[in-house]
Amino acid sequence: MQLRKFSMIYGWLGAALMANLALAVEPPLQKSHAMKLESPAFAPQQEIAVRFTCEGGDVSPPLSWSDLPTGTKSLVLIVDDPDAPDPKAPKMTWVHWVLYNLPAESSGLPEGMKAEDLPAGTRQVLNDWKQT
């Protein structure tokens, strides 16, 4: 099975979720809080299967999150590719998917998430392909 390096997903997505959570909670977040973002499809800093890339099935990987700070009202998820278009010679950060207003009660997204199945109230913005 061909694999592609997707080295930044956990660190970057976690940072994106935490940074955006700060805008949506009261009182301010505690810096020591350890929110978790995981995927059963791959381990942190490891390669991601081709089915999750545009070279394969181009489907979203399953994601789960937990241990949100008390008072969280909504989440933002930004999926980007920091070494596009070539991991050996990155030229830009490519934005694949942006969701916002994910309900704080949600705990993740299944593999192959479709727009019509997003949690109620969740919104999408255009990615670098000018698509949601």
Query: Domains plus CATH for the chain?
Result: 3-124 (3.90.280.10)
Percent of the chain with pLDDT over 70: 75
| Element holding 97 (H helix, E strand) | strand 92-103
- What is the per-residue pLDDT across 50-67, written as a single tens digit (0 to 9) for each? 999 888 998 999 999 999
* Structure confidence at residue 69 as a pLDDT band (50, 70, 90): very high
Per-residue confidence band for 16, with pLDDT thresholds at 50, 70 and 90? very low
The 10s digit of each residue's pLDDT in 35-44 is: 999 999 999 8
C-alpha 98/C-alpha 124 separation (Å) is 6
What's the whole-number average pLDDT of the chain?
80
